[in-house]
């Protein structure tokens, strides 16, 4: 079920009313309703994969209970590795089986031997990478005794399948989300209004910015061989704002929806395109995933505690695995490796934690130095997105080669120049609003709250009109494929 669909527009208020009117005084009933709603929400795509979520839930719930009563270290490790292998086994089969099979075949062909293999007909379950990592964090935290395992199966099921963030995050930690299912929740009007405001901004990011950019980016990337260098640059820029508007928009809708039901999810994006270096970018982009890899991969590998070689090794490990998490394609691995290379100079000079504060905090404009830092970081990011978006490595190489050609100085050749101009104007407006709200959790959190009511409402109505105006360009959320 898409957040920007009529189905969800009916589903959300129905669940909201049942939750607060019928189950308001019964916490267990509220949790059960969340589980039921979440299974309906996920099953809307393909009901067959509900069994996968249920099985994963049963496995980790059972292992969590057994870890509580088991004191033998060897048996505890066996339980932990059972959870890891089951969860990553499912993820590996559905997401990476054909990738390894095709590369295995290619390796034999390279050495002059041909083997007859056919790709498997595997449907990738929506959001499997997200809920797999969420359940793994629970088992690992219970194993490390950072968290008490839950005895309530309904509560654990609600944690695993919580519909606002089920298919594209944020990837919530059990230490944050799970305890909230045990707390009495009462309706809070100001919290609900704030949630609606964040949903509105998330829908604007997705339906107006991301979908408008997607139409142009898809055309340019799909016909890159016929495009001149300046058009290819525009394609990369359009995709840069498409993926940000698409993914951060989903997170805003998920967080805002959760607030309607009395839950607080972690912030997943902190205005990453205003970062002054790549380290800051990764502290602000897909925060739930980057911190997951930091806590469950980077630190267990030794983090930054060892010598230079260990730091470099661990940095490449976390970025390459992060790239591979995104999909079964060498483009994602190269994308992750490129970001590791970007990150390396900062790590080796101990400047990777230099720009921790918000850029131009308390000021309207950045300094010239800050602006140039942001521009340089943004340029590196856009270049890496080309590889991420390309169909394969050859496509990425040809696309980049096309940019660095004499045609870079030519006028862009676009099939819809008027649409491109309108989209660029929308992007500039979007950047301006994001800049104004960069010190908040999301751009609209405090913007306009001190304005007179007619002016503030005019801003909201303008956004709503834009949603309907640009609704015809509907695109599926990018991260559903991951």
Rg (CA), the chain: 23
d(CA 416, CA 49): 40
Q: Which of 219, 286, 326, 395 is catalytic?
A: 326
SS3 percent helix, strand, coil of the chain, rounded to 5, is: 70, 0, 30
Contact, 60 vs 138, CB < 8 A?
Answer: yes
d(CA 18, CA 162): 16
Q: What is the DSSP string of 51-77?
A: HHHHHHHHHHHHHHHHHHH---HHHHH
d(CA 104, CA 453): 63
For the chain, the distance separating the N- and C-terminal CA atoms, rounded to the nearest angstrom, is 16
- Map 306-348 to HEC letters: CCHHHHHHHHHHHHHHHHHHCCCCHHHHHHHHHHHHHHHHHHH
457 is annotated as an active-site residue: no
Please enumerate, as own/partner, the contacts of 347-350 that have beta carbons within 8 Å and a separation of 24 or more.
347/304, 347/311, 347/312, 347/315, 348/308, 348/311, 348/312
Contact, 167 vs 50, CB < 8 A?
Answer: no
> Where do we find the tokens 């056919």?
118
CA angle (260, 265, 271) in 5-degree steps: 110
Would you state the structure tokens that stand for residue 303, as one six-digit string?
Answer: 């983090």
Helix axes 229-260, 393-403, angle to 10 degrees: 120
Contact, 162 vs 127, CB < 8 A?
Answer: no
Phi, psi for residue 331 in degrees, rounded to 5? -60, -40
d(CA 254, CA 148): 26
Q: Point out the residues that are catalytic.
A: 326
């Amino acid at each position: 079920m898409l957040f920007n669909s009529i189905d969800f527009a009916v589903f959300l208020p129905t669940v909201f009313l049942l939750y607060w009117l019928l189950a308001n005084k019964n916490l267990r009933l509220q949790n059960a309703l969340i589980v039921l709603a979440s299974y309906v929400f996920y099953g809307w795509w393909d009901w067959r994969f509900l069994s996968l979520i249920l099985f994963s839930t049963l496995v980790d719930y059972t292992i969590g209970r057994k870890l509580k009563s088991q004191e033998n270290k060897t048996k505890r490790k066996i339980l932990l590795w059972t959870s890891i292998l089951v969860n990553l086994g499912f993820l590996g089969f559905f997401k990476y089986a054909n990738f390894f099979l095709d590369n295995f075949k290619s390796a034999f062909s390279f050495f002059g031997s041909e083997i007859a293999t056919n790709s498997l007909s595997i449907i990738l379950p929506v959001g499997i990478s997200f809920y797999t990592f969420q359940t793994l964090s629970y088992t690992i935290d219970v194993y490390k005794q950072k968290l008490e395992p839950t005895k309530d199966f309904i509560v654990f099921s609600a944690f695993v399948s919580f519909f606002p963030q089920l298919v594209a995050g944020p990837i919530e930690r059990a230490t944050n989300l799970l305890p909230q299912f045990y707390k009495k929740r009462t309706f809070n009007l100001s919290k609900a209004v704030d949630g609606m405001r964040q949903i509105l901004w998330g829908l604007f990011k997705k339906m107006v910015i991301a979908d408008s950019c997607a139409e142009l980016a898809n055309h340019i990337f799909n016909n890159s061989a016929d495009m001149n260098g300046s058009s290819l640059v525009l394609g990369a820029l359009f995709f840069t704002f498409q993926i940000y508007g698409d993914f951060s928009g989903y997170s805003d809708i998920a967080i805002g929806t959760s607030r309607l039901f009395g839950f607080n999810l972690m912030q997943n994006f902190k205005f990453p395109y205003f970062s002054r270096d790549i380290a800051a970018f990764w502290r602000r982009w897909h925060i739930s995933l980057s911190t997951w890899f930091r806590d469950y991969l980077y630190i267990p590998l030794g983090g930054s505690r060892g010598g230079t070689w260990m730091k470099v090794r661990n940095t490449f490990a976390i970025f390459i695995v992060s790239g591979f998490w995104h999909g079964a394609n060498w483009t994602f691995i190269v994308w992750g490796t490129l970001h590791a290379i970007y990150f390396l100079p900062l790590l080796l000079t101990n400047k990777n934690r230099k720009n921790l504060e918000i850029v131009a905090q308390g000021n309207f404009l950045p300094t010239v130095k800050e602006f140039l830092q942001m521009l340089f970081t943004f340029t590196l990011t856009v270049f890496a997105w080309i590889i991420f978006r390309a169909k394969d490595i050859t496509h990425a190489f040809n696309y980049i080669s096309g940019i660095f050609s004499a045609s870079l100085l030519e006028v862009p050749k676009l099939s819809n120049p008027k649409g491109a101009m309108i989209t660029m104007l929308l992007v500039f407006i979007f950047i301006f609003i994001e800049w104004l709200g960069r010190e908040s959790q999301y751009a609209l959190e405090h913007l306009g709250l001190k304005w007179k009511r007619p002016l503030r409402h005019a801003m909201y109505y303008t956004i709503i009109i834009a949603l309907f105006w640009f609704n015809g360009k509907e695109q599926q959320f990018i991260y559903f494929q991951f």
